[in-house]
Amino acid sequence: MAPTRTFFIALVFAAAGSLASAGGHDGNPAVKARKAHMQLYAHNLGILGGMARGNMEYDADAAQAAASNMAALSSLNQRSYWAPGTSNAELGDETKALPAIWEQGSTAGQIGGELAAASAALAEVAGNGLEALGPALGPVGATCGACHKAYRVAD
């Protein structure tokens, strides 16, 4: 028993070590995490937008799943990956996050709250047909745009 247990413990540490070094070599872990979070927004919103624009056939289950994902994602506590000291002023090209996010009077947190509210409302109706989905998407997309305009380096 004992050797097996030691082996497993060694495996766990090896895995943890490689995660930590991946963070060190490939960039700031907070930046990577928030970009991944944004990619999940884009993926799920892309499905819903595709249906709303008629590029994808409306499917109630798929719409509900994507909208529920949006509601869940937007309600996660994202504190650790919006850590102070990780703007483009400190990290350069690695990130497009502007220092204004962390400055006095920043509305980034408020916009995040609006996204969560709009996503919860979207999840209420997304499975009820295309006519219900379309109008509920607008407020979600508006918060993405508002935050990018104010707090992300323009493309």
Q: How far apart are CA 58 and CA 18, in angstroms?
A: 42
Q: Residue 40 and residue 9: Cα distance in Å, rounded? A: 32
The pairs formed by 46-53 with CB atoms below 8 angstroms and a separation of 24 or more are 48/122, 48/126, 48/133, 48/137, 49/137, 49/141, 51/130, 51/133, 52/130, 52/133, 52/134, 52/137
Stretch that binds ligand HEC, among 12-20, 28-36, 52-60, 124-132 (CB under 6 A): 28-36
∠ at Cα 62 (60, 123), nearest 5°?
A: 75
- Using CB under 6 A as the binding rule, whether residue 108 contacts ligand HEC is answered as yes
Of 50-58, 61-69, 127-135, 141-149, which segment contacts ligand HEC by CB under 6 A?
141-149
| 115 sits near ligand HEC (criterion: CB under 6 A) | yes
- Which of 39, 53, 59, 103 lies at the binding interface for ligand HEC (CB under 6 A)? 39
Interface residue with ligand HEC among 49, 67, 133, 151 (CB under 6 A) is: 151
- Sites of contact with ligand HEC (CB under 6 A): 31, 34-35, 38-39, 41-42, 45, 95-97, 108, 111-112, 115, 140, 143-144, 147-148, 151-152
